[in-house]
């Protein structure tokens, strides 16, 4: 068998000579509109799972496409245990993507990948097909160069964007069989300065839907205005008061469990905050940033919890005037939670606050449509050091330690059911517009990312 | 020529023997989906105007279908001046109707009129085809019985539901030619106790659309939550704070010009308020009524101004979860104004208040999409007395003097440009569900209404 170093060199050489094919493969996956939240896209999601399964089969891995939950989307599991005695690495990704609306906002069709000046534009390019394909290609190049130097497992799910139950249930049921030394969750990205990152924490999520019911039927605002309860006004007032104009969430006890940053973290953030604010202003394109004035911007997006309405609909929303007091209105409200907040403790406090803010003529129901606990992960272990070294080689840059504002709900299931150290990272640049129109990936990051994963895998073999 | 009394008797006899034909004629008009706010219904609106014009032609009236505003909907004017020296009556109505959404809420299709237990169900049955057809049928029966005993003019517009400019502009341009002794605005209805009414005031309207813009594009709430301005949260907070939970509008100066009721009005309202509250609870189907606690319910709907959001949309409103902070959100907000509030004075105060409540990262524009000044009208004149007597005969009931919560924007144009006393009334029962699904008219009211107008016209001839 070849030495790890010669294997690495051969695989990196392959990655450098097969760039066009590597990009074409990613483009092929991006053409599959695997939007998990839309029932009419179910067949596309299944097709994407099989497409991935075929790639793993081609490497001689033991591939399964597992239906865990009836009517859910399957988990793709691919195992290769050809190096007994060597470390075992699990690589996580998801093949499902977000809806594309507002579709008018796209400059090229979301499922017809287009290259614009070194960037690949498509829904899923950054979140998460660009990421997991970099891992898949790294494994393929190592396979072609003579065989993977360690044992590996891919776990790629189809319900990340809908916080579905399939993978968590699978992990909890098969934790013992999924023994591994490291879990690489490649569903994150570079920081605002273009450096590779390693996450020390992820925010959790509590996503709810509020339905406000007022009159039994839509009413004329002339005849009834003054006595009819208006579910839009009430729901708007509730949302307006759940978070005040200074970004402070008003749910009693909401901040009680929030773990403050360390002195070191705070010092690093202070140094970078002005540049971070500049980057955020550029990326949001907003006139001004918002949020809790007493906290740094970087702190507010990574280690402070927040609350946002993600959707609101009620009454007449067509063109022109219709003087109606509608029977109902509804809104989606999500909270991003940080260590050590517990969504199950916050939910009843949230419900109480909503009901306290409601007026007697309007009834507001609260339904949970998604949740994920926040996650913390240490970076003082071998896998983290190996990944930082791999990044240094592939990107020529030090790795930034960050707290991630987003949530990767399944991270906590890996942590609790599988138990191995988590390494959370990824290669999408900070302005990749994930979940937005014109999602895109810097193509150079994709190729460097393939090389970084090759180096990471070989590093773990040492 | 026949005496007025014999004419009246003959016309009333015709109304009683031709009930089926009278109902069928109304049903024919109700089949025309004349929704003025929808461009695709323009042809139907024009067809409705011609349909009315044909009826007036058949009575030998001088009929014009006048395009006042390019691209607007025409005004139908029909004149008959065959009784020189006798009084002149102008009768107003509108042939346009509201949109039908939410269409799922209808128990029978809105433009396929259906009779359910003495009620006629269709969009426009109550607002306003049932009303104006009762006037048309009264004229027809008098015509058939031997000729109208006074001079009459019909003015039927097609832009009432969109507060369009055509009729106001026409009235202002032709005020002098439209000399008349009385204007009957039959676009109102019975009170909650089923009594015929005569309005002493109408609320005015200021209808606005607010557009809130935050980030340049939709953003991921994980990556940006904590710093990105959220236009839904801000717009919701603005709407929540424009009117507090006690129904008090917080725009500085908003109540300054409100004319308090007379001692007599207040005494009458107090006597009826408990029953009014009961009726309103039944009609709204709401758990509880809302509004300013220090004022009677009947006062709050008739002589207090109010503010309602009539529509709100922003972000992801489909099924399931999408964690987006959207680039924009918008809402429709209308204010019902009372004598002597002036919408042109309130608009800048409203704009200032909105801008004061906005957060720095969100810009909210305010556009006026409808307005009408409040109207007061005396009831101490001959036409009012004649109508009350006609109602007593036709409905067997005294007439209630009311302040109408709704707005009839063109009333003020009649008042100012034509100058004759306004008589504002109508025959739709209080729970007719105008502007809502399942709009309906009590058919007996229609037939009694025809008789009442016959008696009113003959009464004016004396």
Q: Which of residues 266-305 of B touch A (CB under 8 A)?
A: 277, 280, 283-292, 297, 300-302, 304
CATH 3.30.70.360 in chain A is located at 205-258+305-372
CA-nearest residue to B319 within chain A is A37
> Which of A284, A27, A436 minimizes the C-alpha distance to B323?
A436
Fold for the domain defined by B4-202+374-461: Aminopeptidase (3.40.630)
Chain A hits for B308, CB-CB cut-off 8 Å, are: 221, 225, 230, 232-233, 325
Q: Which two tokens stand for residue A173?
A: 């049921």
Report the alpha-carbon distance of residue B327 to residue A422 in Å, rounded: 34
B237 CB neighbours in chain A (<8 A) are: 236, 239-241, 245
Whole-number Å distance between alpha carbons of B147 and B387: 20
Residue B328 C-alpha, separation from nearest chain A C-alpha, in angstroms: 10
Task: Give the sign of the dihedral formed by CA A284, CA A285, CA A289, CA A290.
Answer: negative
Nearby residues of B227 by Cβ (< 8 Å), 6 or more positions away: A277, A280, A284, A289, A290, A291, A297, A300, A301
Q: Do B336 and A225 touch (CB under 8 A)?
A: yes
DSSP A152: E
3-state helix, strand, coil in chain B (%, to 5): 40, 25, 35
Q: In chain A, what is the straight-line distance between the N-terminal and C-terminal CA atoms, in Å?
A: 14
Nearest chain B residue to A304 by CA: give it.
B226
With a CB-CB cutoff of 8 Å, which residues 76-105 of chain B face chain A?
98-99, 101-102, 105
Residue B214 near residue B361 (C-beta atoms within 8 A): yes
Neighbours of B142 (CB within 10 A): 26
Contacts of B303 (CB under 8 A, 6+ apart): B201, B258, B259, B261, B265, B338, B339, B403
Are B237 and A233 a contacting pair at CB < 8 A?
Answer: no
Q: Count other Cβ atoms within 10 Å, centred on residue A307.
A: 25
In chain A, the residue whose alpha carbon lies closest to the alpha carbon of B225 is A301
Residue A308 in contact with partner chain B when CB distance is under 8 A = yes
Q: Which of A429, A462, A357 is nearest to A188 (CA)?
A: A429
Interface test with B, best of A110, A241, A246, A312 (most B CBs within 10 A): A312
CATH fold group of domain A205-258+305-372: Alpha-Beta Plaits (3.30.70)
Here the tokens at position B173 are: 């341009």
Nearest-CB residue to A312 (from B219, B236, B325): B236
Half-sphere exposure of A336 (CA within 13 A, CB side): 33
Q: What is the pLDDT of residues A274-307, one digit of tens each?
A: 999 998 998 899 999 999 999 999 999 999 999 9
What are the tokens at A21? 């094919």
Alpha carbon distance B300, B311 (integer Å): 22
User: What residues of chain A lie within 8 A of the CB of B406, using their CB?
Assistant: 220, 222-223
A235 neighbourhood in chain B, CB within 8 Å: 236
In chain B, what residues touch A308 (CB-CB under 8 Å)? 221, 225, 230, 232-233, 325
For residue B36, give the nearest of B124, B109, B107 by alpha carbon.
B124
Q: Is some CB atom of chain B closer than 8 A to the CB atom of A336?
A: yes
Strand boundaries in A316-358, DSSP class E? 324-325, 328-337
The one-character DSSP state at A417 is: I
- Of A149, A87, A108, A158, residue with least CA distance to A129: A158
Q: Pick from A278, A298, A310, A365 the residue to mutate for testing the B interface (most B CBs within 10 Å).
A: A310
State the burial class of residue A364 (Cβ atoms within 10 Å of its Cβ: 0-12, 13-18, 19+): buried
**pLDDT value at position A140?**
98
Rounded to two decimals, the ipTM of the complex is 0.83
Portions of chain A given CATH number 3.40.630.10: 4-202+374-461
A258/B contact by beta carbon, under 8 A: no
Q: Which residues make Cβ contacts (< 8 Å) with residue B342, sequence separation at least 6?
A: B257, B373
Residue in A with minimal Cα distance to B409: A222
> Where in chain B do CATH 3.30.70.360 domains reside?
204-267+289-372
Reported as half-sphere exposure (CB side, CA atoms, 13 A), residue A132 has a value of 29
The CATH code for residues B204-267+289-372 is 3.30.70.360
**3-class SS of residue B22:** helix
Strands B88-94 and B75-80: unpaired
Confirm or reject contact between A164 and chain B (CB < 8 A). Answer: no
Indicate yes or no: CB of B309 within 8 angstroms of CB of A163: no
A40 contact B CB<8A:
no
Angle at A214 between CA A212 and CA A217, to 5 degrees: 120
Round to whole Å and give the CA distance between A299 and A55: 40
Q: With residue B278 as reference, give the H or E element that holds it.
A: helix B263-284
- Token pair, residue A318, equals 């067509």
Helix, strand and coil percent figures for chain A, each rounded to 5: 40, 25, 35
* pLDDT tens digit at each of 462 positions of chain B: 569 999 999 999 999 999 999 999 999 999 999 999 999 999 999 999 999 999 999 999 999 999 999 999 999 999 999 999 999 999 999 999 999 988 999 999 999 999 999 999 999 999 999 999 999 999 999 999 999 999 999 999 999 988 889 999 999 999 999 999 999 999 999 998 899 999 999 999 999 999 999 999 889 898 899 999 999 999 999 999 999 999 999 999 999 999 998 898 899 889 989 999 998 998 899 999 999 999 999 999 999 999 999 999 999 999 888 889 999 999 999 999 999 999 999 999 999 999 999 999 999 999 999 888 999 998 999 999 999 999 999 999 999 999 999 888 889 899 999 999 999 999 999 989 998 899 999 999 999 999 999 999 999 998
């Amino acid at each position: 068998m070849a030495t790890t170093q010669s294997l690495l060199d051969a695989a990196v050489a392959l990655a450098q000579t097969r760039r066009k094919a590597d990009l074409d493969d990613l483009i092929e996956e991006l053409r599959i509109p695997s939007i998990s939240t839309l029932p009419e896209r179910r067949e596309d999601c299944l097709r994407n799972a099989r497409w991935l399964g075929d790639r793993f089969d081609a490497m001689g891995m033991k591939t399964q496409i597992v239906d865990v939950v009836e009517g859910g989307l399957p988990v793709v599991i691919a195992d290769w245990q050809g190096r007994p005695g060597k470390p075992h690495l699990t690589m996580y990704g998801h093949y499902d993507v977000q809806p594309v609306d507002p579709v008018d906002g796209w400059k090229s069709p979301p499922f017809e990948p287009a290259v614009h000046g070194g960037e690949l534009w498509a829904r899923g390019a950054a979140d998460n097909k660009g990421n997991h394909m970099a891992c898949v290609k790294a494994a393929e190049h190592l396979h072609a160069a003579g065989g993977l130097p360690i044992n590996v497992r891919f776990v790629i799910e189809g319900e990340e964007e809908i916080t579905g139950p399939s993978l968590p249930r699978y992990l909890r049921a098969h934790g013992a069989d999924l023994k591994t030394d490291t879990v690489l969750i490649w569903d994150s990205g570079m920081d605002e300065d273009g450096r590779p990152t390693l996450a020390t924490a992820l925010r959790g999520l509590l996503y709810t839907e509020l339905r406000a019911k007022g009159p039994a039927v839509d009413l004329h605002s002339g005849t009834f205005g003054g006595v009819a309860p208006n579910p839009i006004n009430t729901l708007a007032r509730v949302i307006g008061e759940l978070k005040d104009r200074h970004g402070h969430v008003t749910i009693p006890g909401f901040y009680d469990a929030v773990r403050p940053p360390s002195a070191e973290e705070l010092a690093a953030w202070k140094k970078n905050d002005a540049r971070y604010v500049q980057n955020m202003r550029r990326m949001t394109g907003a006139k001004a940033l918002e949020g809790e004035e007493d906290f740094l911007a970087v702190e507010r997006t990574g280690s402070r919890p927040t609350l946002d309405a993600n959707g609101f609909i009620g009454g007449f929303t067509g063109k022109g005037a219709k003087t109606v007091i509608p029977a109902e209105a509804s809104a989606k409200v999500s909270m991003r939670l940080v260590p050590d907040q517990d969504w199950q403790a916050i939910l009843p406090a949230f419900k109480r606050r909503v009901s306290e803010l409601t007026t007697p003529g309007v009834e507001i129901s609260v339904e949970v449509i998604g949740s994920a606990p926040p996650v913390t992960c240490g970076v003082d272990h071998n896998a983290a050091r190996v990944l930082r070294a791999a990044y240094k080689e592939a990107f020529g840059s030090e790795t930034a330690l960050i707290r991630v504002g987003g949530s990767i709900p399944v991270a906590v299931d890996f942590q609790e059911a599988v138990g191995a150290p988590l390494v959370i990272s990824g290669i999408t640049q900070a302005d990749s517009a994930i979940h937005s129109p014109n999602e895109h990936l810097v193509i150079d990051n994709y190729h460097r990312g393939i090389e970084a994963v090759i180096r990471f895998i070989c590093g773990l073999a040492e």
